[in-house]
Structure 1
Amino acid sequence: MFSQREELANLSTDRDMLLDGADLQWSTPSDNSLEQASKVATESGDLAGLSLVDLEILALALELEATLVTDDYRLQNCCLVAGIEHQPVLTDGISERWQWQLVCSGCGTISNEQNISKKRGEYGNCGDCGSPYNIRKK
């Protein structure tokens, strides 16, 4: 599986050409590590905002006990939950764990729902006004 490479190639054909000349070793995480990464992302509330490639990269960091170098705040949040090191590249990164909440897009009611690791757009509707919930950082 080379989805990480495909992700880089989709960002820029120039990057893809540079990858051809680099002596990189591409790794695929084990199924166990992917399951562990999914559990971490569910616990942190970030699962809905992560792609399959994000989960693979998180799984590899868990499997290899490696520092995850990323500017993705959701991945950094997962690292904090999992207790693994992360290093931002161009940003300051996050310094503390982010918490998430569901907020009604219509009336602003905040849901008591604790498990918000659902796919985007599938958070349900407000019991007060019927409008869809959105996710936001507390």
Structure 2
Amino acid sequence: MDSSALFSMQDLPNGVLYTVPGVISELKKYKDPRLKYWDEFIEVKEPSQEFIDTIEKASASSGDDLRLSPVDKSVLALAIETESTVLTDDYSIQNLAKILKISFRGVGMKEIDEVINWTYKCTGCRKEWDKNYPDCPICGSPLKSVRSRKR
């Protein structure tokens, strides 16, 4: 489960639910009072590095790397490792899950229908790149992710 699933608390399945330490940290940050009641239902687990590497590589390839936080990537890595369904309303998590054929389910919102690939556009010279760079190799301006026009 990602943070959106725990914030929403709608239609959660019975049984043990997995999440990553970063999700619990996010909930503590927002002082969610329900956190104390979830201990018996949630197993907190850090995914293995090999699964994180898989997510890093896939997110760089799809262009989702700028849209996914380290916690989001950990949630996806744990889903692969535990062969679990990801419970999330985060469309970027769903996008990469769909690409990797990881089962996912929206909790409070409808799931995505199609995969979106992203490229990186310079905010200065407007050149588009398939790869994310720290800044534009041409003019040095920051890059932002944009929907790819390639099909």
- Tell me the TM-score normalised to structure 2 length: 0.71
Deviation per CA, 1:60-112, whole angstroms, max 9, x where unpaired?
111122211111111111111111111111222211111213334356x341x
Partner of 1:87: 105
CA RMSD of aligned residues (A): 2.3
Structure 1 stretches of 4+ moved >4 Å: none
Report the count of equivalent residues. Answer: 129
Out of 96, 111, 131, the position equivalent to 1:115 is: 131
Partner of 1:74: 92
Q: Which has the higher contact order (CA 8 A, sep 6+)?
A: 2
Give the number of the structure whose residues are more often strand, by fraction: 2
5+ unaligned residues in a row in structure 2: which ranges? 1-19
- Equivalent positions of 1:1-138 (< 5 A) are 2-20=21-39, 22-106=40-124, 109-111=126-128, 113-116=129-132, 122-124=134-136, 127=139, 131-138=141-148
5+ unaligned residues in a row in structure 1: which ranges? none
User: Which secondary structure does the structure 2 equivalent of 1:16 belong to?
Assistant: helix
Deviation per CA, 1:3-59, whole angstroms, max 9, x where unpaired?
231122223331323335x34221121111111121121122111222221111100
User: Which secondary structure does the structure 1 equivalent of 2:24 belong to?
Assistant: helix
Measured in 1, the distance between the counterparts of 2:81 and 2:54 equals 9
Measured in 2, the distance between the counterparts of 1:86 and 1:123 equals 33
- Tell me the TM-score normalised to structure 1 length: 0.77
1:80 and 1:97 in contact (8 A); partners too? yes
The amino acid of 1:74's aligned partner reads S
